[in-house]
Amino acid sequence: MLERAGHVVTDFGTHSTESVDYPPICAAVARAVRDGKAQFGIVMGGSGQGEQIAANKVHGVRAALCNDLYLAEMARSHNNANVLSMGGRVVTFDQAEKILEVFMTTEYEGGRHERRVAQLAEIEQQEGAR
C-alpha cells in the first residue's frame, strides 16, 4: 500500500513466521526516524504494545499504539507521534491501511500541544542523564 502510494519503504523484518525478539527491530525502526532516515516508522506485533514500548526507548521517538482511527488521529494531531504501532491480532488488514493513512496524513496541531510535547522531551532528557 505504501509503495503503491509512492513512499519509499525500508523493511527491518521479520522475514519469517517464526517467533522473534522484536525489541532490536523496533529500536532500529525508531532510530531511522530519529536520525532523519524516515519520516515515520511503523512497528507491528500481536498486540502492538511491546513494540510501542521498545520504540519509545529510543530518544526523540514518540511511538503511539493506534488500533483505531481516533487514536491514530490524536497521536499525530496532539502528540506529534512519529512511530505508529499496531497489533496484528487486533486490527484487520483493511483497518490497518486506514489507520496508517490517518496517521500519515494528520497534521500536528501545535499550539497548546507544543508545551506538552516539549515537556515529554524534557522528561526524556532528564531520564537519560541518570
Other beta carbons within 10 Å of 25: 18
Catalytic residue flag (residue 73): no
Catalytic residue flag (residue 107): no
120 is written with which cell numbers? Answer: 515529554
Q: Which of 3, 7, 18, 51 is catalytic?
A: 51
Instruction: Please tell me the distance from the alpha carbon of residue 118 to that of residue 96, in angstroms, as a whole number.
Output: 29
Instruction: Please tell me the distance from the alpha carbon of residue 77 to that of residue 86, in angstroms, as a whole number.
Output: 18
Q: Which of 15, 18, 73, 78 is catalytic?
A: 78
116 is written with which cell numbers? Answer: 506538552
Instruction: Please tell me the distance from the alpha carbon of residue 80 to that of residue 74, in angstroms, as a whole number.
Output: 9
Q: Which residues participate in catalysis according to the annotation?
A: 51, 78
